[in-house]
């Protein structure tokens, strides 16, 4: 994560750091590797804790793969197998449709948040203009307002625009994020002043500099922000519940809620829906683990 | 001459202004319309009473905030939320740190364990809550249908942990702690990896054991991370809605044992559900309480946290 704050340490500096890193790692390995009984004890603990953490996932998955007449017998054992219930959740539970809705909204929100954040962050970091401090303070202030405090009024606003039960209604209130502006501004501020001055002398304008120099340098942060925005939108629960009453426009989260409230007597169907809703994100996070860690820790770096 | 210089200076000062405004405008418009305006409007709306459709609002004066705050229903929600925070925050923090310390060793296969411990970060509130609903549900749930378990704990079947007013909030809290485990684990793990190992070596040379090292090195060095996690977990506890909606609907009734503030404002069983004025007042109170809590945590603990270079 520290690489982000010093992206231009210079090739030689970076090499030196990498060498030092390797030496450090070798030393740490020797120091930190438990042996003998300690090692066995550590493994035992790790397995026990992993079992506890995965237990709800395990029972969910085996229930989703069982026929209805078997699901209440031996709920801890995978003693029957069918893909039929997953199929039911996909078609009758309309999970396919809900996934598509969530995907559309999340992609729009992600692209928009990245673009709006890049533009505003660049202006706050590299442009000088009157009123900059006040405007930036207003941006930071929005970070203090919890989503839940705004939704009562936002519902009225969206309603008066005629956007209840629409994609616009789900997406438009979230097209910008002060978190993204703040995060990218911090990174833009670490770009050396000389870089911009040299570009200006060569006649490169701000937008050209942003596109060809600044953006490539902050790519890792952009990835983290994109993943964060996507997850934030995908996981929205309260807003779709308030906004959506037409079945066609439900997101995965509000659709799962419907499925569960309507089928309390069919736990395997609800669990099948849960599995279908969870798998894409589990898969995505396996691929984008690094961006996730970067995004999560970005908030914590400076408190 | 000097006027010329003055003009040039001023024109340079304003030179970037149009570009800056154009770049900031998209964010500013969205945040203004959907964050700042609604907050201001909610403060105004909060002193009104409205009809079922949120129209025909009449002013009640700002005393309405005090009335709402003092009402039995809000006091109950406030108490439930504080209890919920006291159940989820310390437990979530301790569990996250314990898991991170446990996995912070070089062992074969440690990557797999780290992936497992992080995995709950991939669950949305709906996914996590439904998994736990299926675990705890008294008729069709997992635990109620495992004979040796319901023999050991009959209350899991009758009345059910989510149905018993004495255990419902704790059960919801367990689901919530589990769901946030991955988040805390990832953050604390990253924090641990930034602690210089020489500190432990030096301490070991000086004869400090594992426990002493944990309290004298690990905890202080993790300070900023722990403070951040503390604030996030507390905020989440006060915003808890999905788990309540899916697991208990704010019940069991009539005690409203799991009606948190957010559920009180937005839940389908809420007594203020049909009055936009009271809802707005509740939302504003939630904002003020959260702001005060964050300030307290930053001021009280934050001052003692050591930020390294």
Candidate from B16, B276, B287 with C-beta closest to A128: B16
Interchain contact, A285 vs B122, CB within 8 Å: yes
Residue A137: the pLDDT is 92
Restricting to B residues 57-96, those with a Cβ less than 8 Å away from any Cβ of A are none
> Encoding tokens for residue A13?
């500096």
A67/B85: higher pLDDT? B85
Interchain contact, A282 vs B119, CB within 8 Å: yes
Mean pLDDT over each residue of chain B, to the nearest integer = 86
Of B133, B140, B159, the closest CA to residue B248 belongs to: B133
Of B293, B294, B287, B295, the closest CA to residue B46 belongs to: B287
A242 touches chain B (CB under 8 A): yes
From CA B176, how far away is CA B168, in angstroms rounded?
A: 12
What mean pLDDT comes out for the span B262-275?
A: 83
B297/B93: higher pLDDT? B93
Candidate from A72, A148, A271 with C-beta closest to B239: A148
Interchain contact, A242 vs B266, CB within 8 Å: yes
- Residue A195 near residue A216 (C-beta atoms within 8 A): no
A3 band by pLDDT with thresholds 50, 70 and 90? very low
Of B232, B205, B230, B208, the closest CA to residue B218 belongs to: B208
Residue A171: the pLDDT is 95
Of A96, A188, A296, the closest CA to residue B186 belongs to: A296
B190 touches chain A (CB under 8 A): yes
Pick the residue from chain B with its C-alpha nearest to A149: B283
From CA B30, how far away is CA B268, in angstroms rounded?
A: 28
To the nearest whole angstrom, how far is the Cα of B304 from the nearest Cα of chain A?
13
Q: What's the pLDDT tens digit per position in A26-57?
A: 555 445 666 778 888 888 999 999 999 999 99
**How many Cβ contacts (< 8 angstroms) between chains A and B?**
291
Restricting to B residues 128-187, those with a Cβ less than 8 Å away from any Cβ of A are 128, 130-135, 137, 140-142, 145-146, 178, 181, 183, 186-187
Interchain contact, B239 vs A178, CB within 8 Å: no
From CA B221, how far away is CA B138, in angstroms rounded?
A: 44
Q: Is the dihedral of CA A253, A257, A259, A260 positive or negative?
A: positive
Interchain contact, B105 vs A241, CB within 8 Å: no
B105 touches chain A (CB under 8 A): yes
A36 touches chain B (CB under 8 A): no
Say which residue the tokens 């629960």 belong to. A237
Per CB-CB distance under 8 Å, the chain A contacts of B201 are: 31
A153 touches chain B (CB under 8 A): yes
What mean pLDDT comes out for the span B219-231?
A: 86
Torsion of CA B33, B35, B37, B43, to 10 degrees: 160
Q: What's the pLDDT tens digit per position in A51-67?
A: 999 999 999 999 888 88
Q: What is the 3-state secondary structure (H, E, C) of chain A?
A: CHHHHCCCCCHHHHHHHHHHHHHHHHHHHHHHCCCHHHHHHHHHHHHHHHHHHHHHHHHHHHHHCCCCCCCCCCCCCCCCCCCHHHHHHHHCCCHHHHHHHHHHHHHHHHHHHHHHHHHHHHHHHHCCCCCHHHHHHHHHHHCCCCHHHCHHHHHHHHHHCCCCCCHHHHHHHHCCCHHHHHHHHHHHHCCCHHHHHHHHHCCCCHHHHHHHHHHHHCHHHHHHHHHHHHHHHHCCCHHHHHHCCCHHHCCHHHHHHHHHHHCCCCHHHHHHHHHHHHHHHHHHHHHCHHHHHHHHHHHHCCC
> ω before B101 within 30° of 0 (cis)?
no
A46 touches chain B (CB under 8 A): yes
Per CB-CB distance under 8 Å, the chain B contacts of A49 are: 99, 102, 117
pLDDT more than 90, % of chain A: 45
Choose, out of A21, A26, A46, the residue to mutate when testing the contact with B (most B CBs < 10 Å).
A46
A102 touches chain B (CB under 8 A): no
Residue B2: the pLDDT is 58
pLDDT more than 90, % of chain B: 38
- Residue B284 near residue B65 (C-beta atoms within 8 A): yes
Interchain contact, A119 vs B239, CB within 8 Å: no
Residue B14: the pLDDT is 84
What mean pLDDT comes out for the span A218-234?
A: 90
Residue A25: the pLDDT is 53
- Residue A190 near residue A5 (C-beta atoms within 8 A): yes
Candidate from B105, B128, B224 with C-beta closest to A34: B105
Mean pLDDT over each residue of chain A, to the nearest integer = 84
Q: Is the dihedral of CA B32, B33, B36, B37 positive or negative?
A: positive
Interchain contact, A146 vs B235, CB within 8 Å: yes
* Burial class of A234 by CB neighbour count within 10 A (0 to 12, 13 to 18, 19+): buried
B5 band by pLDDT with thresholds 50, 70 and 90? low
- Residue B222 near residue B189 (C-beta atoms within 8 A): no
B288 touches chain A (CB under 8 A): no
A16 band by pLDDT with thresholds 50, 70 and 90? very low
């Amino acid at each position: 994560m520290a690489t982000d704050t010093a992206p231009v340490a210079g090739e030689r500096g970076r090499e030196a750091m990498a060498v030092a890193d390797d030496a450090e790692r070798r030393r740490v390995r020797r120091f930190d590797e438990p042996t003998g009984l300690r090692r066995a004890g550590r493994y035992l603990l790790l397995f026990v804790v992993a079992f506890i953490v995965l237990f709800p996932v395990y029972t969910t998955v085996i229930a989703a793969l069982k026929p209805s007449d078997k699901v209440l017998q031996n709920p801890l054992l995978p003693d029957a197998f069918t893909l039929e219930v997953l199929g039911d959740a996909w078609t009758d539970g309309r999970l396919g449709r809900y996934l598509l809705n969530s995907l559309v909204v999340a992609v729009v929100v992600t692209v928009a948040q990245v673009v709006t954040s890049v533009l505003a962050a660049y202006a706050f970091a590299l442009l000088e203009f009157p009123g900059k401090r006040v405007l930036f303070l207003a941006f930071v202030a929005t970070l203090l307002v919890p989503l839940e405090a705004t939704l009562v009024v936002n519902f009225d606003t969206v309603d008066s625009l005629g956007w209840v039960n629409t994609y616009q209604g789900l997406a438009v209130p979230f097209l910008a994020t002060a978190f993204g502006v703040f995060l990218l501004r911090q990174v833009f501020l670490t770009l050396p002043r000389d870089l911009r001055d040299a570009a200006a002398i060569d006649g490169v304008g701000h937008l050209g500099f942003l596109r060809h120099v600044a953006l490539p340098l902050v790519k890792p942060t952009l990835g983290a922000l994109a993943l964060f925005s996507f997850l934030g939108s995908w996981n929205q629960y309260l807003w779709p519940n308030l906004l959506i009453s037409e079945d066609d426009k439900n997101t995965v989260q509000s659709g799962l809620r419907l499925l569960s409230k309507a089928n309390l007597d069919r736990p395997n169907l609800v669990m099948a829906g849960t599995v279908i809703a969870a798998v894409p994100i589990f898969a995505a996070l396996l691929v984008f683990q690094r961006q996730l860690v970067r995004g999560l820790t970005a908030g914590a770096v400076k408190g | 001459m000097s006027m010329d210089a003055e003009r040039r200076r001023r024109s340079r000062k304003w030179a970037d202004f149009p570009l800056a405004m154009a770049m900031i405008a998209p964010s500013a418009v969205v945040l203004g319309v959907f964050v700042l305006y609604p907050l201001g409007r909610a403060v105004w709306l909060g002193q009104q009473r409205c009809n079922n459709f949120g129209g025909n609002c009449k002013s009640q004066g700002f005393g309405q905030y005090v009335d709402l705050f003092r009402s039995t229903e809000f006091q109950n929600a406030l108490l439930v939320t504080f209890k919920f925070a006291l159940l989820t925050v310390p437990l979530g923090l301790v569990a996250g740190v314990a898991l991170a310390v446990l996995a912070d060793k070089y062992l074969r296969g440690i990557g797999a364990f780290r992936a497992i411990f992080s995995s709950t970060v991939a669950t949305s509130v709906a996914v996590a809550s439904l998994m736990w609903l299926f675990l705890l549900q008294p008729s069709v749930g997992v635990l109620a249908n495992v004979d040796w378990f319901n023999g050991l704990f009959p209350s899991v079947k009758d009345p059910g942990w989510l149905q018993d007013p004495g255990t419902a909030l704790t059960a919801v809290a367990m689901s919530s702690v589990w769901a946030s485990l991955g988040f805390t684990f990832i953050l604390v793990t990253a924090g641990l990896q930034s602690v210089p190992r020489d500190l432990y070596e030096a301490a070991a040379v000086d004869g400090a054991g594992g426990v002493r090292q944990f309290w004298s090195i690990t905890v202080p060095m993790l300070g900023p991370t722990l403070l951040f996690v503390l604030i996030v977990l507390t905020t989440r506890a006060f915003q808890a809605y999905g788990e309540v909606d899916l697991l208990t609907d704010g019940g069991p009734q009539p005690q409203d044992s799991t009606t948190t503030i957010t559920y009180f404002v937005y839940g389908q069983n809420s007594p203020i559900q049909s009055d936009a004025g009271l809802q707005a007042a509740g939302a504003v109170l939630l904002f003020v309480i959260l702001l005060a809590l964050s300030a307290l945590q930053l001021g009280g603990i934050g001052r003692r946290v050591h930020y390294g270079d």
